[in-house]
Structure 1
């Protein structure tokens, strides 16, 4: 192989970790791919002999690209739409691969991370998920190491304050969402309020359509109709339901459960988002039909 091929091969060895970092920070599979591609373009224009630690260099580049992308999105609505699994193309092993499989990278955590300021989010992801030292984080966010530590600490407190139910609590997630769906079917307004966080948000294909427990409860009829023709499912590892036509999924409803309350409901009927989602339906024969 020539020098370019060797460099490309070395880069590909780091791609799963870089994509996971970008995805955790940005919450968008396509934007994560864009950030990783930008890192490759910058690497291809750099003398490899000048890079002592390729993994560290690439991590720094991707982190800076992500920070710039977050700054560009500063005025856009916050929201995460049933994200694609970051480990779908990771086939390695070792601590980096194990980090990708951890509960901490679930959709519920992404929802929380996207309420943080960009620098806080990046500091938390780099340090707490990818074990990047604070002196390196400081260079990325343009702060001192002590300030970078404070950014991560503030983010950590926020995550701990609203720690989501993880994949290990799926039965509890199911129980809470079942209470909501049964209450919707029975028109039980008080039971709906009991299942919902006071600041619950409903999004349709990523766009917020209603916020607040009372407002969501008052418009719960669509969920009743959906629930009656749907199958329970895991959507990217979280509890949800799927409706189908001709053996193909046409609507996904994902629930984010924090503590004992539903904090977000995502309605997805965008074909691309459905195709990207990792679905596990309660009826295995049905799920294999697409």
Structure 2
């Protein structure tokens, strides 16, 4: 019975953990630890399994996030959240999109672990303040204050997303096409003048270790990456033929992103943030450790 109840809530628990941590790998570890604790619990002692499990996962995630903060101080280059696929039916995407956007998760990185957990539980999952208070071990008044402070912080720093999903996807497809075609003018025209490129390689793949700013510089960087010579270099570690490389647009973290794969294996994610019809920020993730949980649909099916 314990196992059945846990599996019923596994998706919810994974969603809570991922949003708090920004890492699918860490979220899986937290959920597994929660299962080990849950498996030893007597159901007679638990009035509300869902609330109990959210409480366990939230506290484990907060603890892990505090530990991760120390590790990230020695991380090579910028740290970005781990990308996850959100391909699926429209209802599922609509439910997931806003609270897993990479741009939002980046802003959440600037909150304290406790503020982040409260924000996620309230804004993404609409939990009552009283339930959140029990989950994080604080008074309801303290949780309300934390939630207000976190909400104000996010509102002031979060970019104003382009809400038209079709328009965002079209612009992302044009971005990919311009890169592959070597179209400097076309690519620059898609970018805001003060566009920024933030890349995360963890020092394990080729990518800028500092933020690049300006439409011309960002465009020239991507055209250089998409050159035939550099694409061949990308294949070398895999010993793959040129036709093993593919570039496509897929739903990643609730929005369109350019995904580069080698023999079906994701090696790079480019996620543009569109504001007022132009790309304002580009997130580039090439750290191979962050690709393992990116599950893309099989195009042959």
Give yes or no for TM over 0.5.
Answer: yes
Q: Distance in 2 between matches of 1:130 and 1:99?
A: 15
Secondary structure of the residue that 1:231 maps to in structure 2? strand
Secondary structure of the residue that 1:279 maps to in structure 2? coil
Residue of structure 1 equivalent to 2:171: 175
Q: CA deviation at 1:254?
A: 1.7
Superposition map of 1:43-82 within 5 A: 43-75=38-70, 76=72, 78-82=79-83
Residue of structure 2 equivalent to 1:209: 209
Q: CA deviation at 1:210?
A: 2.0
Q: CA deviation at 1:125?
A: 0.8
Q: CA deviation at 1:268?
A: 2.6
- The range that moved more, 112-121 or 259-268, is 259-268
Q: Is the 8 A contact 2:212 2:218 kept in 1?
A: no
1:262 aligns with 2:256: no
Q: Is the 8 A contact 2:249 2:259 kept in 1?
A: yes
Residue of structure 2 equivalent to 1:32: 27
Q: Gaps (5+ residues) in structure 1? A: 1-5, 92-96
The 3 A distance-change label for structure 1 pair 277 and 232 is same
Q: Gaps (5+ residues) in structure 2? A: 74-78, 229-245
Residue of structure 1 equivalent to 2:240: none
Q: Is the 8 A contact 1:240 1:252 kept in 2?
A: no
- The range that moved more, 155-164 or 130-139, is 155-164
Tell me the alpha carbon deviations over residues 19-72 of structure 1, each in whole angstroms, 9 at most, x when there is no partner.
Answer: 111111112122111111111211222222111111111110110000100111
Q: Distance in 2 between matches of 1:131 and 1:244?
A: 36
Q: Distance in 1 between matches of 2:172 and 2:220?
A: 18
TM-score by length of 1: 0.74
Q: Distance in 2 between matches of 1:160 and 1:259?
A: 15
Equivalent in 273, 276, 283 of residue 293 of structure 2: 276
Residue of structure 2 equivalent to 1:3: none
Superposition map of 1:1-290 within 5 A: 6-75=1-70, 76=72, 78-85=79-86, 101-108=95-102, 109-161=104-156, 162-163=158-159, 165=161, 168-172=164-168, 174-175=170-171, 178=174, 182=178, 185-187=182-184, 191=188, 194-195=191-192, 197=194, 200-204=197-201, 209-214=209-214, 217-218=216-217, 220-227=219-226, 231-236=247-252, 237-245=254-262, 248-249=264-265, 251-260=267-276, 261-268=279-286, 270=288, 273-274=290-291, 276-279=293-296, 287-288=299-300
Q: Which has the higher contact order (CA 8 A, sep 6+)?
A: 2
Q: Is the 8 A contact 1:179 1:195 kept in 2?
A: no
The 3 A distance-change label for structure 1 pair 157 and 137 is same
Q: Is the 8 A contact 2:17 2:61 kept in 1?
A: yes
The number of aligned residues is 268
The 3 A distance-change label for structure 1 pair 168 and 106 is farther
Tell me the alpha carbon deviations over residues 154-187 of structure 1, each in whole angstroms, 9 at most, x when there is no partner.
Answer: 3223433424536742423542774697489455
TM-score by length of 2: 0.72
